[in-house]
Chains A and B, each alone.
Chain A
Amino acid sequence: MSSRNQSIIGNLDGWLMAGYLFLVFFGWINIYSSSYSEEHSSIFDFSAEQGKQFIWICISLGLGFFLFLFDTKFFQAFSFFIYGAVLVSLVLVLIFGQTVAGNKSWFVITSSIKIQPSEFAKFATALVLARIMGDNKFSFTPGISSGNQFKFLGIPFHITKDGMLAIILVLIPAALILMENDTGTTLVFLSFFLAFFRFGLNWIFFITGVISIIVFFTSILYPVGFVLAILALLGLIAFGSMRNLIGGWKIIVLLLLFFTGLTLAVKPIYNHVLKEHHRKRIMVLLGQEKDMKGSGWNVNNSKMAIGSGGVLGKGFLKGSLTKLKYVPKQHTDFIFSTVGEEWGFVGSTVLILIYLFFIMRLVAAAERQRSMFNKVYGYMVACIMFFHFFMNIGTAVGLAPAVGIPLPLVSYGGSSLMGFTLLIWVFLKLDSQNLQILR
């Protein structure tokens, strides 16, 4: 066994490695296509996006191989330190950072080099969660000896104190990023909850989250009284038939109070906390408004570019709408519209399937891990990738609200590429030494 462990490369997951390289390379040529112009006609033109992305790719690969030099114990031991450092940088960016496109989330080093610490916060949070959830004693569900159970107002919840700690560790960076005005990246932190269910977070949290989202949107559209009446009805049903399943009448009352408070708060939040462009987006998403000049504009242009691609696409560098710079942010958040136009239905479907395969492969690799730390970390990576995939392509084809997050590894952007390289390559490293861990 020990002879096999000598070589990292030999133990690398070839499929994940190949997937990573394919996505990065495919992203690069699409960035080239969407940034192509007569003045910047070379893929190695370092004054244009395609050239800069090439440099970022080289740096990221260098970073990836550098990560292989570390012992796996390093990531475990330094997880709190890395998490703390990222939190500090998130605070600093609020003070010293610069606002780019409305988000105060950038450290500007030179005019062409900007760093976005929130892209690294996902990695740091994933590490620190793996650290505490990787502990043998960790559990989300209170055991029989429920000294560890989280209680609120004396009411026992379906979660342990450790579990609450995990949730809080997610919420801290999310809140800081929300303060940067970067709603998209904040929402990405929801992906950690998706991973939590694998490790025993009670489904009631999931249901609560879904109902909260439904309550939020319905309260905007319908009178408060109507929403409260529906909630009361649901409460009665829950009380009558699912009391034991949910965990007693106290929990039901607490949930009802929570939803009532949320219902009453929605209108004030919507009118006073959210900005005009947020309201516009919500209205467009709910189909209440057709805003072709403002927030609906990007999405519509993107759909048109994709639609014009047809079955086989117009071919590499031949997308006329791409050339006309029809879709704003076409090399970043809307890179998929270039794929759709130039590679057509066939090419886009292949990209989606490769993405699907990559994410499923991450989950499969996470499942085979012997160490809980590795397993938790693998799931986190998979869920973050999935959330980005879902929101980004969903926006481009008009199935998800436009929150503006990149397509991992494919979109233009150094911070994003390096952030995902860290996430993925650390997992590759952990996975490569999986067999050294004795069961």
Chain B
Amino acid sequence: MNQDSAIKYIYYSIFGFVALAFIIKLFLLQIPDNAYKQFANMYAIRRVVKYPARGNILDRKGNLMVSNEYAYDLLMIPAEAKPIDTLELCRLVDIEKSEFIKITSQVWARIKERKMSKTQAVPIAKDLSKEYFSTIQEKMYKFPGYFLDKKPLRKYPKPIAAHILGYVGEVDTTITNKNPYYQPGDYIGISGIEKAYEEALRGRKGVKKVFVDVHNNEKGSFMNGMYDTASVQGENLTTTLDMELQEYGEILMRNKKGAIVAIEPKTGEVLAMISSPTYDPNQMVGRNKRKFYPGLLLDKTKPLYNRAIMDGYPPGSTFKVMEALIGQQEGVLFPNTVHPCGGGYRISATHRVGCHAHPNADLRYSIQTSCNAYYCAVFNSIVKKYKTAREGYNVWRNYVLKFGFGQNFPDSDIPNIKKGNVPTSDFYDKRYGKGGWRALTIISLGIGQGELQANALQIANLACIVANRGYYITPHVGKKIGDRDLAAEGHFQKHETGIDDKYFDIVIEGMYGAVNVPGGTALVGKLNHIVICGKTGTAQNPHGKDHSVFMAYAPRENPQIAIGILVENAGFGATWAAPIASLMIEKYLTDTITRPALEKRMMEGNLITQ
């Protein structure tokens, strides 16, 4: 053997040394009094998910709107469940024995099909209140393999703002498939603010590894909690809502169908969003949900539906305010423009748009009195300024979109806003044939009727634009997450409409007149100590009595609140919508009501059972 090949023994010894080191290390890990092994064999190590309480939701003044309360689930671990007095258990948790048998037999069937593990806990009864807990807890020793699990549920101190707050529910498979954070059985914000601010409100669930005995009693944390991840408390959300105003609006809208949206014009903060009829949000929590949800779902007045953002109504005469601004900006309308109105606007030899007679109405007077003929003429002149009706209509439509109509405010935090409808020129091409339509064909758009669809949010936003003289901030409901100011972080943008400041004077003068000058359409809403500017509307309803529409802002100087309101089947805008808006404004700005008789009449009015 030469010296070269003797080197292989050096290699052998290096390899052998390493192998020996490994074996010694293994010996030290595996043989001596072995804490790991005992832990692993004597107890089950269970992964316990700690759900942090969801963050509270506050109103703009810091009043609590949504908080949490603990409830309990009764769970069973199939592998550890022994025969028990089923009837007693069912009585304790208030379920039918047949239901209990149904649940458990399904579980065993799934185990047999190897679709789930025997050691996986399954819920038998959910959302038991504290009262149940105290009676059950002392009898749990009778039910080996069963245990109670505590979890936070939503609680609403006042039964208001159900729609905009939204609700929390269990995730479904479409969510768990998409987002690995959620496991079946987890809760998630399903709608409204709960959905929009889900990530901030939910916090972060933690995982704790604990030793448990056969009763699932925790026997201490595993390795001193070395492997636990802490749960992170959900953050509190301060909303822009004003609880008192919200509650007051809901009382005013009782027994009426419709919606109110109130916005602070200079910030775009939604002060109140009322959809009526409404429901108590506590009815959508825990066991209540099973009791009330089917009834709410089947109710013909659709209480689950958020009319403030989801319904589309023709905006009616409130649209004329925008019409007046577009006309001026396009240079076809001036404060002194007079369109003759002999009680209507002639479209053709046989058709005319009806109106009361407003001879020689100028721009201001046309708004104050809501002259239909005048705005048919304005619409006609805007469209006719361009070579083709299509071109002119597109210019007009572009303005309308900039005013927030026909769009759903993509940077808003309010989920599920419906766009409404501002038809495209293609739509009319299809209906009338290319070149087969003119301004007069679609003249009803000029007075907010026809195919137009808008919601209370968009109408309130129009009031904001007038109050701000030309722009709006995206309407939103989130103010602060913890201490972080959302607006300061730039979440909500300023949108210019492209209408010059100077064109607002005369329009505002007209809106002032509508509420404050004898002959104005909304004189009923006049307040002695606050100057309200407003515009009434009546949305034509082919299915029944017309809808009452009103928009307003106040005070005239330095506006604090803008409001849009729709009351279904209430007829002319001044009869219901204007007085309710006026009361809301008074409540918000002065916190006192000087017209108790009007207030009483509005509160007691019932437009549903008629």
* Chain A positions near chain B (C-beta within 8 angstroms): 38-39, 41, 197-198, 292-293, 297, 300-301, 303-304, 306-311, 320-321, 324, 340, 344-345, 348-349, 352-353, 355-356, 359-360, 363-364, 367, 382, 386, 389-390, 393-394, 397-399
Contact = CB atoms under 8 A, between A and B. Distances in A.
Given A307-B36, A308-B40, A324-B47, A353 B226 contact: no
Contacts of A348: 26, 30
Interface stretch (B10-18, B80-88, B180-188): B10-18
Given A307-B34, A308-B36, A345-B31, A352 B15 contact: no
B293 interface: no
Contacts of A198: 4, 7-8, 11
B227 A356 contact: no
B29 A306 contact: yes
B19 A355 contact: yes
B11 A307 contact: no
A393 B29 CA distance: 13
Contact of B27 (A292, A345, A363): A345
A324 B30 contact: no
B16 A397 contact: no
Interface of B: 4-5, 7-8, 11-12, 14-16, 18-19, 21-23, 25-27, 29-31, 34, 36-37, 39-41, 45, 47, 114-117, 223, 226-227, 229
A197 B26 contact: no
Please report whether the interface of chain A is mostly helix, strand, loop or mixed according to DSSP. Answer: helix
Contacts of B30: 306-307, 309-311, 340, 344-345, 348
Contacts of B45: 320-321, 324
A349 B8 contact: no
Contacts of A304: 36, 223
9 contacts: A306-B29, A307-B36, A311-B30, A311-B31, A320-B45, A340-B29, A352-B22, A360-B12, A363-B11
Nearest to A398: B25
Given A344-B30, A353-B19, A397-B29, A308 B47 contact: no
Contacts of B23: 349, 352
Contacts of B114: 38-39, 41
B117 A364 contact: no
A80 to B, nearest CB: 27
Given A41-B114, A307-B36, A382-B11, A356 B26 contact: no
A135 B133 CA distance: 84
Contacts of B5: 367
B29 A386 contact: no
Nearest to A301: B227
A190 to B, nearest CB: 13
Given A297-B227, A397-B22, 4 more contacts: A345-B30, A363-B11, A386-B14, A394-B18
Contacts of B39: 308
B19 A356 contact: yes
Contact of A363 (B8, B34, B36, B226): B8
A334 B34 CA distance: 21
A18 to B, nearest CB: 19
A394 B47 CA distance: 29
B137 to A, nearest CB: 29
B558 to A, nearest CB: 53
Central interface residue in A307, A344, A349, by most chain B CB within 10 Å: A307
A399 B34 contact: no
Given A307-B37, A320-B40, A360-B12, A349 B18 contact: no
Nearest to B7: A198
A181 B524 CA distance: 75
A309 B29 CA distance: 9
A382 B4 CA distance: 17
Nearest to B19: A356
Contact of B16 (A39, A306, A356, A367): A356
Nearest to A324: B45
Nearest to A356: B19
Contacts of A363: 8, 11-12, 15
Contacts of A382: 11
A416 to B, nearest CB: 21
Given A306-B29, A348-B26, A363-B11, A399 B21 contact: yes
A399 B31 contact: no
Central interface residue in B21, B36, B116, B227, by most chain A CB within 10 Å: B36
